[in-house]
Chain A
Amino acid sequence: MIEHYLVQASSYAADIDSLIILIAVLVGVWFLIAEGVFFYLIFKFRHRDGHKGQYITGEERHQKRWISIPHFLVLVCDLFIIVGAVRVWYDIKQNLPPADATVRIIAQQWAWSFVQPGPDGQLDTADDIKTVDDLHVEVGKTYHYQLEARDVLHDFSVPVFRLKQDAIPGRVITGWWKATKTGVHDIQCAEICGIGHGLMVGRIHVESPEEHAAWMQANAPSTSLAAR
């Protein structure tokens, strides 16, 4: 249902969306049953003249059944949800596939800085490409990110990727994505970071290999400059 509003632009977006659908179905059924029974009982046992209420303690076994059976069924639904949640989480946050490229993402009040390797494919060399607020990546490639924060907590969130991770000063947090669709999308800071939090907007440009190569060509620091 989310893809109706936001495309699924990463390899794991569909997994998260299906987990959300699974939960929606399981809890939705319970919700409708509970509300349905609730309103039916209010109507059925409304006050009428000459009608008396019943005396039911709810302490006897055959009465308690009415809440203990639903209780165990809820437990079964919970188990399905736990299994689904753990699998999706493991694939996204724990089990990182090997990287084709690595980018460094630095959050600070109130901007995003991105460092990615130049033609040599290595970070921290002279040909690194540095950008602010705009991140250019290639579709179909597995990227690892190294997320850092300079000052306070921030959060790197790309809704179309279904990707979100807090950035913490003093730590480098590694995660990954693999974009599956080209396009330009929002990067939001999702953790309040001071008075400019609402202005901490970034854009991610997911490009085809040709476009990305051209962008790299145009933006790589010239070797003469790097040599200096």
Chain B
Amino acid sequence: MAEKIAGAQEHRHDEHAHHVETFWSKYVFSTDHKMIAMQYMFTGMFMALIGGFFAYTFNMQMAFPGEPVPLWGGIVTPPQYNALITNHGAIMIFWVAMPVLIAAFGNFLIPLMIGCDDMVFPKINRLSYQIFFLSVLVLLSSFLVQKGGFGGAWTVYPPLSAKHEYSLTPMGSSLFVVAVALEFVAFLLGGINFVTTAMNSRAPGMKLYDIPMVVWMIVIASILFMASVGPLIAGAIMLFMDQNLGTHFYDPKAGGDPILWQHLFWFFGHPEVYVVLLPAIGITADVMCVFARKKLFAYRTVLYTVFATGVLSFTVWAHHQFIAGIDPRMAHVFTITTLLISIPIAEMMFVFIATLYGGDISLTTPMLWALSFIAEFLIGGVTGIFLGASGADIYFHDTYFVLAHFHYTFFPIAIIGVYAGVTFWYPKMFGKMMNDTLGKIHFWGTIIPFNCIFIPLFWLGLAGQHRRIYDFRNFPELAQYQPVRVFAASMLVTMLLFQLLFIFNFFWSLWRGKEAGPNPWKSNTLEWTTESPPGHGNWKTLPTVYRGPYEYNVPGRKDDYWPQNVPN
């Protein structure tokens, strides 16, 4: 079987070598993993612009309630406000974090880092992106239909989401569910490819413990995703039927149960956190080792903590539902599992900190992003303990404390992790160096406002402010904090403006950037042993591997790095 696949691939590459690529075959219907990675990356970045614009719009409404929002073209109405917060969350997780972290980096890095010419199933890979693109179109169209986009929060809890007379968005809510379901199908297809490729197509000599951490993380994330998403797809189909065919799966009046959805959703939803977290951690590990010129501390321990996290992540889902009306005795079980999952995650953080010990650390732009991932994610991690402890969650549930907590996890994941990866692999992707000075200005212009947005929000949550409220002035106890909301919104605008600098740097460097050469960072892993950008088929001769990915500063060697493919 494997030989047959390999044979078919060789045949395909011969064909490609002999015919001229058209625009359509090269950029749109490509089966090349690098092009599909770019498709995912640019689609994800486009969606990030939309998600960011939504965040800007509803934050302006919170800071200046009832006033016209510049660029939005008028005031934000309550249905619009709900649709904006709902789709901001859904877009940032399903259409930014997943496509960029898993699909773009997975597609780009897995074949290049394990030393093969393409994914095992290139056509399934192409189909995955096409379905993903369709899901983007369905989601975007949901904003344009009559009565507007769905506004029942990204968690889509029924009965609000199940009945049009409650949600008041008859088409928007169905399109939202369809878009999410299509996105899941796309990532199931992608996941098959990532796992199969990493397990079967490694370069000769590359043993399991020689795989770079980011590849491991994307593979484990894909397995977690595939194992957890089934119940939710079933749930989404039932929800769609409740919406449109008059079934009653979630309708208590006819014997259904709205809580059933919450279990199905969070059984997927909590592993999903780790699905996007792991690739970001993997990127951080790889970038840190390169710029600390250090071997990753206790490679195997990292891997085992990831396995432990993955298994435990299936046992913690109901900590989202402590006060949702589940049997109160269940809270004890989920408090224990939730606090236990803090242990492998804490250990992972300790490993990264220990990796810095004895290093030779250069603070390049990618390294700044990788280090800030650790520094910021720690805040997200420790604040999670407050929410995992059932007794404290009675107060914190659904407050801004929760919101600030998960932004301190998701922002490091989806923004910091992505910037670390993009700035690090940009030379390999495009063959040019990004401007480091602009990169550093962009880094500080993002990190400082980020903390200025969300630290005040922790405090607002502590003071009792709940999420998803259109106008806080209606609550006498909360009205007094309006200046804090104005401050957070102004910091958000500042942060968003600094992103323009990144976009400028990205395109300007394509045009005027310094030539990168094959290995500008003096890195060990295989992707740096081919030309930048790699041609079709990745290598002229596929590499052979002799050692692990993190052999930096090995005693007795002149160079401080030792690429995986160099015999001695």
Contacts and interface: CB of A to CB of B under 8 A. Distances in A.
B349 A58 contact: no
B462 interface: yes
A55 B328 contact: no
A218 B43 CA distance: 64
A161 to B, nearest CB: 10
Given A53-B552, A168-B258, A197-B82, A86 B390 contact: yes
B78 interface: yes
A186 B360 contact: no
Nearest to B552: A53
Contacts of A6: 463-464, 477
A93 B354 contact: no
Contact of A188 (B252, B324, B385, B475): B475
Interface residues of A, number: 88
A42 B553 contact: no
B342 interface: yes
Contacts of A78: 339-340, 342-343
B299 interface: yes
B159 A198 contact: no
Interface residues of B, number: 96
Given A55-B554, A152-B166, A186 B363 contact: no
B298 A63 contact: yes
Given A45-B358, A53-B292, A92 B391 contact: yes
A155 B398 contact: yes
Contacts of B339: 78, 81-82
Contact of A192 (B160, B343, B379, B477): B160
Interface in A175-195: 185-186, 188-195
Interface string B460-492: 001110111111001111100000000000000
A153 B215 CA distance: 41
Interface string B282-323: 000000000011111111110000000000000000000011
A53 B339 CA distance: 36
Contacts of B466: 157, 188-190
Q: Which of B339, B474, B553 counts the most chain A CB atoms within 10 A? A: B339
A166 B158 CA distance: 13
Interface in B386-410: 386, 389-392, 394-395, 397-399
Contact of B386 (A20, A165, A173): A20
Contacts of B560: 52-53
Nearest to B349: A34
Interface string B143-164: 0000000011100011110000
A123 interface: no
A70 B354 CA distance: 12
Question: Which 8 residue pairs spanning A and B have beta carbons closest together?
Answer: A170-B252, A88-B391, A198-B470, A54-B358, A159-B464, A58-B297, A85-B389, A58-B298
30 contacts: A16-B395, A20-B392, A27-B383, A30-B346, A34-B349, A34-B378, A41-B356, A45-B357, A45-B359, A53-B552, A54-B359, A63-B298, A67-B347, A71-B350, A81-B385, A85-B392, A86-B335, A86-B390, A88-B394, A89-B322, A93-B328, A93-B394, A152-B157, A157-B466, A164-B323, A164-B398, A169-B258, A186-B475, A192-B468, A197-B470
Interface of B: 78-79, 81-82, 151-153, 157-160, 166-168, 252-253, 257-259, 292-301, 322-325, 328-329, 331-332, 335-336, 339-340, 342-343, 346-347, 349-351, 353-363, 371, 374-375, 378-379, 382-383, 385-386, 389-392, 394-395, 397-399, 462-464, 466-471, 474-478, 552-555, 560
Interface of A: 1-2, 5-6, 15-16, 19-20, 23-24, 26-28, 30-31, 34-35, 37-39, 41-42, 45-47, 51-59, 63-64, 66-67, 70-71, 74-75, 78, 81-82, 84-89, 92-94, 109, 151-153, 155, 157, 159-160, 162-171, 173, 185-186, 188-199, 201
